Amino acid sequence: MKAILFILFSIPVIWISRDSMCDPKKHGFFRFFAFQGIILLILNNAGKWFRNPFSPLQVLSWIVLFASIYLMVNGFSILRHMGKPVGSFENTTQLVVTGVYRYIRHPLYASVLYLGIGAFLKSITLTSTGLILAISAFLYATARTEEGENSEHFGQVYTEYMKTTKMFIPWVF
CA neighbours within 13 Å on the CB side: how many for 127?
Answer: 11
CA neighbours within 13 Å on the CB side: how many for 102?
Answer: 3
Does this model's pTM top 0.85? My answer is yes
Angstrom distance (rounded) from CA 142 to CA 167: 11
Q: What is the pLDDT along the chain (173 residues), one digit of tens a residue?
A: 899 999 999 999 999 888 888 888 888 899 999 999 999 999 999 988 888 889 999 999 999 999 999 999 999 999 988 888 787 777 788 899 999 999 999 999 999 999 999 999 999 999 999 999 999 999 999 999 999 999 999 999 999 999 999 999 988 76
